[in-house]
Copies of this chain bind each other. A is one copy, B any other.
């Protein structure tokens, strides 16, 4: 039996939180006399009313939440936030149609950053703020999800990160809650530090706040059509780069730093691999750009480092059109789309720890071929790498490839050329943002796609953000059976 009424009730506080945040663009719209004022007020009212109804529907008894309830709650939270977050876009004058409004909201809440809005520079501040806030909410949600529900649900090898904090049994619930609160505190702290840094680096206060929100969430929405390239500032690019990296690391590892043990971050296998991969790709492309005489070394380093980190951390800011760097760069950036950051961060993609697990398995296979009768015990980061985790990473990889494959096929059937189809599917599943080609490349956006294409991408973004299985599982008949 799924505790549907209790799950419904739990959506109340989430929606109330969204309504509270929506007050900010309402105030901004009021102050600047925005044409979107009514749109925001109606959305605010609708969100508050539904949030109240849900909160007041509290069932008399608090049932024990089971695994299936968690799955349902996770899915419904994101769908609900996407739906109510879309309301201002739906009612506003600035977003074309219903599909575009939903796409922008989903791209926000999943921290993807693909946009269908053009002429961002001339849009009212309220809409720009709300877009950034949607990503910030999405990042907040994924940090909470990654620290609590996902390891508990054993999705895609995440059981490796199951700690006492992800044990929501009654015994340890207060402890888990304390950890969650601390993580949210870290998220707030990073956001604040990022905004201040941007401001010092030369952004306007508004740009600093909005970009901070879309940086720490590795979202990538900007307030300018040309993204970070608009500022043409080394200082701003440097701030973005540092905070994108910070946002792609496991937030759990920031807790010991607060307690005065700063080395935990650098000793973490996932973090080390992440820096190793990112650095290798940067080095490779700097060498390429220099060898092909496209720019001098410092300029190459500046452009490569920024855009590689932006795509790899699944942020999606753009400081230069890297698709003009030749097909080698295009191929490298395509593969980079899949990489992602660390688990327990706000970034998407396949994630570094799965590459770590894969490479352990790869090494073991080679050893086994050489020594067929030997036995092996696998350990990663001090935890046993059980067969269950390996099997679950394998299933995740398959599901990920399947998601990108099916999405690309459907996008091609919807009339897109094959480069657009592939790169749109990849960038949506990894929650990156920009794609490749003359339609959705780094200097274009998603406005030109057909409505069916946009809906396909909405589903793909949600699948990617929720680690695929969270969504797939509720589509199985077995989920709904007793």
Determine which residue in A369, A408, A419, A422 has the highest number of CB atoms from chain B within 10 A of its CB, and name it: A369
Stretch at the interface among A82-90, A233-241, A258-266, A397-405: A397-405
Q: How far is the CA of A358 from the CA of B436 in the complex (A)?
A: 30
Whether A368 contacts B388 in the complex (CB less than 8 A), given A327-B421, A330-B412, A409-B335, comes out as yes
Q: Of B67, B154, B366, B394, which contacts A358 at CB under 8 A?
A: B394
Decide if A278 is an interface residue (CB 8 Å cutoff). Answer: no
Contact between chains at B330 and A361 (CB < 8 Å): no
Q: Which of A47-55, A304-312, A472-480 contacts B (4 or more CB under 8 A)?
A: A472-480
Give Cα distance in the complex from A367 to B472, angstroms: 12
- 1/0 per residue, CB under 8 A from B, across A258-290: the answer is 000000000000000000000000000000100
Contact across chains for B364 and A391 when beta carbons are under 8 A apart: yes
Per-position 1/0 for A441-482, Cβ under 8 A of B: 000000000000000000000000000010011001011000
Instruction: Check A392 against B409 for contact (C-beta < 8 Å).
Output: no
- Can you name the residue of chain B whose Cβ is closest to the Cβ of A387? B387
Would B328 and A398 count as touching, CB distance under 8 A? Answer: no
Contact indicator A331/B409 (Cβ below 8 Å): yes
Residue-by-residue, is A411-422 near B (CB-CB < 8 Å gives 1, otherwise 0)?
A: 011011111011
Contact yes or no, B422 A476, CB < 8 A: no
Interface residues of A (CB under 8 A from B): 67-68, 71, 153-155, 288, 326-328, 330-332, 334-335, 358-359, 361-362, 364-370, 372, 387-388, 390-399, 405, 408-409, 412-413, 415-419, 421-422, 436, 469, 472-473, 476, 478-479
CB within 8 Å for A395 and B473 given contacts A370-B68, A418-B330, A419-B419: no
Could you tell me the distance between the alpha carbons of A154 and B362 in the complex, rounded to whole angstroms? 13
**A335 / chain B contacts, CB cutoff of 8 Å:** 405, 409
Known contacts A331-B409, A391-B390: A67-B369 contact under CB 8 Å: yes
B370 touches A422 (CB 8 A): no
Q: Which residues of B contact A359 (CB under 8 A)?
A: 398
Q: Which residue of B lies closest to A470 (CB)?
A: B369
User: Given A155-B369, A366-B478, A412–B328 Cβ distance below 8 Å?
Assistant: yes
Minimum CB–CB distance for A438 against chain B, Å: 13
The answer to whether residues A331 and B368 also contact, given A393-B394, A394-B390, A419-B419 and a CB cut-off of 8 A, is no
Closest to A359 in B: B398
Q: Can you list 11 pairs linking A and B with CB atoms under 8 Å apart?
A: A67-B369, A153-B369, A326-B412, A332-B409, A358-B398, A366-B469, A366-B476, A370-B476, A387-B391, A394-B397, A418-B436
Within 8 Å CB of A391, what residues of B? Answer: 361, 364-365, 387, 390
Residue of B nearest to A437 (CB): B418
Q: Please give the distance in Å from A166's CB to the nearest CB on chain B.
A: 13
Q: Is the CB of B369 within 8 A of A473?
A: yes
* B418 & A472 in contact (Cβ 8 Å cutoff): no
Given contacts A370-B479, A372-B67, contact A362 B399 (CB under 8 A): yes
Closest Cβ neighbor of A71 among chain B residues: B369
Nearest B-chain residue to A386, judged by Cβ: B387
**How far does the Cβ of A390 sit from chain B's closest Cβ, in whole Å?**
6
